[in-house]
Structure 1
Amino acid sequence: MIEEIRIENLGVIAGARVELGAGLTAITGETGAGKTMLLTGLGLLLGGRADAAVVRAGATSASAEGVFLVEPGSPAAERALEAGAELDDGALTALRTVAAAGRSRAFLGGRTVPQSVLAELAEHLVTVHGQADQVRLRSAARQRSALDAFAGPTHGRLLEDYRAAWTERQRLTVELAELVDSAQERVREAELLRLGLVEVERVDPQPGEDLELAQEAERLGHAEDLRQAAQVAHDALMGTDDAQAPPGAAALTDLARRTLEVVARHDEALGALAGRLADVGYVLDDLAADLARYADEVQADPGRLAAVQDRRAALGTLTRAHGGTVDDVLAWASTAGLRLVELEQGDDRTAELRARLEDLTGDLQALADQISSGRAEAAERLGAAVTQELAGLAMASATFSVRLTPTPELGPWGAEDVEMLLAAHAGAPVLPLGQGASGGELSRVMLAIEVALATAPSSARPPTFVFDEVDAGVGGRAAVEVGRRLAELARGGAQVLVVTHLAQVAAFADRHVVVAKTEGDVVTTTDVRVVAGPERVAELARMLSGQEDSATALQHAAELLERSAVGR
């Protein structure tokens, strides 16, 4: 239930505070006084679209704040807590600001939240109906939605199961179509992969083999140069048998060591240097031995060189086809093997999808049959309930019905189209809703449907209903009956707010709020007030005749209030 709404700088309203309560509240005032702006503010609190055009001229921003009373553990309370909001003894505060520059911000229970959170809460808190809903009521989708809501929560769960199965079937259908369409391409791809893998298997490359063979080819191709270089280096270290040649580095190092050792007893530092020369000699000896061994092992081997070149050529064919190195080829082979398995399983996947789709179609048909049965039963009940409601809204000879037309195939919402029909009076043809009804009649039909939905035994409708000039086009006795029915809806435990121009409707309200503009077309807090007693009679008189001080109008207003009190 909405406990209070505060608005600042919204349209013509500079500031307004409206306290609301249980029962039926009527909001009245002259045309353009700002009544609808109260609902615009409520719409912002319920996650509606923010438009900078609603910000009052000269103001930097507009704001709407509301206090909602929610039951602990209710869907609204749970969603608010999920969003991080805090509840104060069951009271939930929502705030929406709109900057003149266009940016909007939303707050819930002291926390900043996305606008979508307010919209989600709105589904559990308030049902808003305006003249635009009369247009939406003519759409097949809205009519189907209304019938499904009337059918109850068990029916709703069947619909959820059906929608989930329908969505899954659509997804699998697309996947199967793609598999079938790409079957030939997959065959070609699989054959290419097989050929490539066979060639890789034939050559049997080893990790890093191409790099090792490149090094070996380089060594074999320059074997003689390498051997000579090693021999020259060896001779430089150890000398040669030629007596005329200079001694090698090892002999000279040994000479230096022995020379130092002769005098080392005179200076320890020189002895240490002699020791280091001895170490150098050992290193030179090891190097000379390694060079000699290398020179002996490096031999020209034309046969091995040819074999290496052939192997490199075979590997080169693979690397050019599948990557720059043998490691790249091996990585491709691993990926290609997995892809080939996937492609070869395509036929199995196709068969699996066909079987799954067949099962899903059976499940959908079973669910659709249950949904059709539920809709048929609900259509009969809704038709009777709305027809009864219309009789109480001065349309006693009207007949409302719901027609179900089977569809050729299962659709996203079941196996039938839903169409609401109306015979506006005795002898009138039965026509689709909106084609055979005037604006006033359609207003009453919408109210009758809403009352039927709200009072259904299985109804889970929000606790608050807001009607914005739902009585448009209605007058006389019909207006009285609209007011009476709104009052009955409120007595059923709902909070009902109605913006109305009709005194016959406002007279049935438990609380009457008047919105007035002062000079300069500004609505302030003092201009939104609850009226009672003589003030209320004066407001009703104004609504009846346009003259709140007319004795005749005042008498008529007083009688209207008295009769509505008896009617309640």
Structure 2
Amino acid sequence: MLQELRIQRLGVIDEAVLDLHAGLNVVTGETGAGKTMVVTGLGLLLGARADAGLVRSGAATAVVEGVVDVAPDHPAAVRAAEAGADVSDGLVLVRSLSAEGRSRAHVGGRTAPVGVLAEIGEHLVAVHGQADQWRLRQSDQHRAMLDQFGGDTLRAALSAYTEVFETHDSATRELDQLRSQARDRAQEAELLEHGLDQLEQVDPQPGEDADLRVEDERLGHAEGLRGAAAAAHDHLAGSQEYAGEPAPSAMDTLAAARQALAGEVDHDPALRELDRRLAEVGYLVADLATDLSAYLSDIEVDPARMAWVQQRRADLTALTRRYGETVDDVLEWGRLAAQRLDALLSSDSRIAELEPRVAQLEAELAARALTLTDARTLAAAELAEAVTLELSHLAMGQASVEVRVSPRAAGLGKNGGDDVEILLAANPGSPARTVAKAASGGELSRVMLALEVVTGAAGAVDVPTFVFDEVDAGVGGAAALDVGARLAALAQHAQVVVVTHLPQVAAYADRHLVVRKASDGHITSSGVHPVEGEDRLRELARMMAGVDSEAALDHARELVAEAASRRAVAAPGPRH
């Protein structure tokens, strides 16, 4: 609900604050005072296209600010929060327009694109004027209004249909995908089977490529390795000859060194420690000589083994070239490929499961679509009757409304198998045509008012605030009182703001706001003022007679009393 609307430097309005009521808010004023600027300002606040010409002459900017009271879980609050707004204590919307044409928007204290204001506005306010009957110009909105009006029975039928539709849609898309990709799956399965056959034939083992690389290197240098190890062994343990005599070995040299110390080690601890270290070195050299001897016995030149190792490495390389950098990567590819192949081979069985399931869902969907059509057809007759009755109270007593439910040309969709169209026959004998084409501007507003009153009474109001501009065009006398009564009826279920020139409508106001203009001889400006009591009677008298004479004031009192009496008549009852 709109709590407050502040307008600054917009058209003839210099600065005005509209403190709005939860019920029926009526805006009146002399011709040219700027009543329509209230609706224009509200439109800007809700994302309408900006025109620099709206900025007050001599001003740099125009600003419109609105304070909205909505629950945190309301769709408007949720969208605002998504845009970064603070909605913990209501919602503040701001739109500014510069004289150069630049436009800015703020939502909950945060800068936001103007488009966000429009998205939020769709959940907050329905503006109905001669040029703004969007709900009647969009065919899907006709269906939405009927579904809202239809009550629990229609909503249950729509919910049951939607549930099956989503299940059917999901199963159908899966089946179509499986069928369309059958050739691709077969090709992929063939490639995977070929790769897995190669792995099975080679049978690589974890880390095998690294082990074979080391062995290949050793076998390729076996002769050199043997010679080097033998020479090292001889230097440590002996057997080489030097100048015809056996060459001294490292072990012989260490033994001689110890022998040289043997007679004196007992006389000095330091020398005894050096002898001990010589002994340790001797043991290490002896162990190393033994290890070299064992190495020599292990290494051998084996051309057959070398040929096998090289062929095995070539086989493994063929795998790593296709399936991974290492044998371990190849084995991981094999694991995943086996899983994927299993999934591909099971696709045919999945198709066999889905085909009867989709057929079953199609039959169930058709049955639920028929139930939904029946519910809509019944609701359509009731809606047409109720709106036609409402129009009889809105100076359109000769008009009749038809709500036509027909098969959807494109077949079943997410909202069922129906096209819904609201038709209007403006006069007896006239052909019923879609309401947006059959009604004039003022009639269109009254048709919209009738629809809102009927759907509001049915508990189907989907926005908290309705704005009507020129809904009373071409209406006067007792019919104008009926228009006011219908606006008051709608205000029992939602906040209503109406701009009017008719005192019969203004007499129903819960809050009466007057746009007044003033001039200093050079510049004319307007402001908005709430009126109550005698001030309100004077405004009604001005609207009726142009003066606030005693006779006019008496007439105004009678009009307010008449409105109160008519307001007591019950509005259309809610559907169950």
Aligned to 1:515: 515
Aligned to 2:569: none
Aligned to 1:528: 528
Q: Deviations over 1:159-210 (max 9, x none)?
A: 2343343234333323322221221222122122112211211111111212
Tell me, yes or no, if the aligned pair for 2:157 and 2:375 is still in contact at 8 Å.
no
SS at match of 1:252: helix
- Give the CA deviation at 1:292: 1.0
Aligned to 1:366: 367
Provide the C-alpha distance between the structure 2 equivalents of 1:231 and 1:403, rounded to a whole number of angstroms.
107
Structure 1 residues 97 and 394: alpha-carbon distance in aligned structure 2, compared to 1, 3 A threshold: closer
Q: Which aligned pairs between 1:225-244 and structure 2 lie closer than 5 A?
A: 225-242=224-241, 244=245
Provide the C-alpha distance between the structure 1 equivalents of 2:250 and 2:505, rounded to a whole number of angstroms.
123
- Give the CA deviation at 1:106: 2.7
Q: Which aligned pairs between 1:165-314 and structure 2 lie closer than 5 A?
A: 165-242=164-241, 244-260=245-261, 262-314=263-315
Tell me, yes or no, if the aligned pair for 1:514 and 1:531 is still in contact at 8 Å.
yes
Q: Which aligned pairs between 1:419-458 and structure 2 lie closer than 5 A?
A: 419-456=421-458
- Give the CA deviation at 1:107: 2.7
Provide the C-alpha distance between the structure 1 equivalents of 2:342 and 2:506, rounded to a whole number of angstroms.
75
Tell me, yes or no, if the aligned pair for 1:439 and 1:472 is still in contact at 8 Å.
no
Aligned to 2:92: 95
Structure 1 residues 233 and 544: alpha-carbon distance in aligned structure 2, compared to 1, 3 A threshold: farther
Aligned to 2:573: none
Q: State which of 562, 567, 570 in structure 2 corresponds to 1:566.
A: 562
- Give the CA deviation at 1:541: 6.0
- Give the CA deviation at 1:290: 0.8
Structure 1 residues 241 and 533: alpha-carbon distance in aligned structure 2, compared to 1, 3 A threshold: closer
Q: Deviations over 1:285-338 (max 9, x none)?
A: 221111111112111111211222222222222222323322222122112111
SS at match of 2:530: strand
Structure 1 residues 295 and 332: alpha-carbon distance in aligned structure 2, compared to 1, 3 A threshold: same
Tell me, yes or no, if the aligned pair for 1:61 and 1:97 is still in contact at 8 Å.
no
Structure 2: gaps of 5 or more residues? 565-576
Structure 1: gaps of 5 or more residues? none
SS at match of 1:393: coil
Tell me, yes or no, if the aligned pair for 2:142 and 2:420 is still in contact at 8 Å.
yes
- Give the CA deviation at 1:34: 5.2
Provide the C-alpha distance between the structure 1 equivalents of 2:515 and 2:378, rounded to a whole number of angstroms.
45
- Give the CA deviation at 1:153: 3.8
Provide the C-alpha distance between the structure 1 equivalents of 2:205 and 2:364, rounded to a whole number of angstroms.
54
SS at match of 1:367: helix
- Give the CA deviation at 1:339: 1.4
Q: Deviations over 1:18-77 (max 9, x none)?
A: 2233542211235675545545665687x757969688886689462426387xx99689
Provide the C-alpha distance between the structure 2 equivalents of 1:51 and 1:534, rounded to a whole number of angstroms.
38
Aligned to 1:150: 149
Aligned to 1:351: 352
Provide the C-alpha distance between the structure 2 equivalents of 1:397 and 1:60, rounded to a whole number of angstroms.
48
Provide the C-alpha distance between the structure 2 equivalents of 1:464 and 1:216, rounded to a whole number of angstroms.
83
Tell me, yes or no, if the aligned pair for 1:3 and 1:69 is still in contact at 8 Å.
no
Provide the C-alpha distance between the structure 1 equivalents of 2:347 and 2:94, rounded to a whole number of angstroms.
56
Q: Which aligned pairs between 1:364-443 and structure 2 lie closer than 5 A?
A: 364-407=365-408, 409-443=411-445
Q: Report % sequence identity.
A: 45
Structure 1 residues 151 and 314: alpha-carbon distance in aligned structure 2, compared to 1, 3 A threshold: same
Structure 1 residues 473 and 162: alpha-carbon distance in aligned structure 2, compared to 1, 3 A threshold: same
1:277 is matched by which residue type in structure 2? L
Provide the C-alpha distance between the structure 2 equivalents of 1:258 and 1:33, rounded to a whole number of angstroms.
130
SS at match of 1:411: coil
Q: Which segment drifts farther, 363-372 or 165-174?
A: 165-174
2:558 is matched by which residue type in structure 1? E
Q: Deviations over 1:520-554 (max 9, x none)?
A: 87868xx2211245644554566568xx5597xx9
Provide the C-alpha distance between the structure 2 equivalents of 1:537 and 1:292, rounded to a whole number of angstroms.
126
- Give the CA deviation at 1:17: 2.7
Provide the C-alpha distance between the structure 1 equivalents of 2:533 and 2:374, rounded to a whole number of angstroms.
53
Structure 1 residues 76 and 555: alpha-carbon distance in aligned structure 2, compared to 1, 3 A threshold: farther
Q: Which segment drifts farther, 347-356 or 529-538?
A: 529-538
Give the paired residue count. 550
1:313 is matched by which residue type in structure 2? A
Q: Which segment drifts farther, 371-380 or 235-244?
A: 235-244
Aligned to 2:334: 333
1:17 is matched by which residue type in structure 2? V
SS at match of 2:338: helix
Provide the C-alpha distance between the structure 1 equivalents of 2:233 and 2:93, rounded to a whole number of angstroms.
92
- Give the CA deviation at 1:78: 11
Provide the C-alpha distance between the structure 2 equivalents of 1:196 and 1:233, rounded to a whole number of angstroms.
49
Tell me, yes or no, if the aligned pair for 1:50 and 1:98 is still in contact at 8 Å.
no
1:215 is matched by which residue type in structure 2? V
Provide the C-alpha distance between the structure 1 equivalents of 2:18 and 2:261, rounded to a whole number of angstroms.
113
What TM-score do you get using the length of structure 1 for normalisation? Answer: 0.83
- Give the CA deviation at 1:221: 1.8
Provide the C-alpha distance between the structure 2 equivalents of 1:370 and 1:201, rounded to a whole number of angstroms.
59
Structure 1 residues 332 and 417: alpha-carbon distance in aligned structure 2, compared to 1, 3 A threshold: same
Provide the C-alpha distance between the structure 2 equivalents of 1:41 and 1:59, rounded to a whole number of angstroms.
16
1:94 is matched by which residue type in structure 2? L
- Give the CA deviation at 1:137: 0.5
Tell me, yes or no, if the aligned pair for 1:387 and 1:399 is still in contact at 8 Å.
yes
What TM-score do you get using the length of structure 2 for normalisation? Answer: 0.82
Provide the C-alpha distance between the structure 1 equivalents of 2:67 and 2:295, rounded to a whole number of angstroms.
94
2:562 is matched by which residue type in structure 1? V
- Give the CA deviation at 1:260: 4.8
Provide the C-alpha distance between the structure 2 equivalents of 1:463 and 1:13, rounded to a whole number of angstroms.
28
Provide the C-alpha distance between the structure 1 equivalents of 2:25 and 2:171, rounded to a whole number of angstroms.
52
1:443 is matched by which residue type in structure 2? S
Provide the C-alpha distance between the structure 1 equivalents of 2:362 and 2:27, rounded to a whole number of angstroms.
52
Q: Deviations over 1:108-142 (max 9, x none)?
A: 9xx99999999898788655434454243032111
Provide the C-alpha distance between the structure 1 equivalents of 2:288 and 2:10, rounded to a whole number of angstroms.
96
Structure 1 residues 402 and 240: alpha-carbon distance in aligned structure 2, compared to 1, 3 A threshold: same
